[in-house]
Amino acid sequence: MFELADNSVFTKFEEDELQNPSPRKELDGRSIYLSRELEMIPGKLGAPVLCDFGSAMLGDVEHLEDVQPDIYRAPEVILEVPWWYSIDIWNVGCMVS
């Protein structure tokens, strides 16, 4: 996640959605919308922002829990061996590559 130097991208996104709504389908009483790209302007992204601490755990203790999305999962988690904060370093590497 990155901060935006210019919030007008959201205004344009809203206007586009009003003029040309995203396709959707109803499933089990829920609306599921087709994804729509944000038109990001090169050079308008700010600094990376840490977010989503919903699964945060203390780093000084080894863990065995199944964490991280499959595609970005650290080797320790895949191999089901004890892990600690080093898996966060793996995720930073995934983000910058």
- Assign 3-class secondary structure to the chain: CEEECCCHHHHHHHHHHHHCCCCEEEECCEEEECCCCCCCCCCCEEEECCCCCCCCCCCCCCECCCCCCHHHCCHHHHCCCCECCHHHHHHHHHHHC
pLDDT band at 10 (very low <50, low <70, confident <90, very high): confident
Q: Among the options 6, 52, 60, 70, which is catalytic?
A: 6
- Dihedral of CA atoms 75, 78, 80, 85 in degrees, nearest 10, equals 50
Q: Are residues 67 and 44 in the same domain?
A: no
Token code pair at residue 37: 């790209």
pLDDT tens, 51-77? Answer: 777 777 777 788 898 888 888 899 999
CA pair distance 12, 32, nearest whole angstrom: 21
| Domain extent at residue 22 | 1-51
pTM value? Answer: 0.49
Q: Are residues 42 and 84 in the same domain?
A: no
Q: Are residues 46 and 63 in the same domain?
A: no
Domain count, the chain: 2
Does residue 52 carry a catalytic annotation?
no
Share of the chain above pLDDT 90, in %: 34
Q: What angle do CA 64, 65, 68 make, to 5 degrees?
A: 120
Q: Are residues 44 and 81 in the same domain?
A: no
Q: Are residues 38 and 69 in the same domain?
A: no
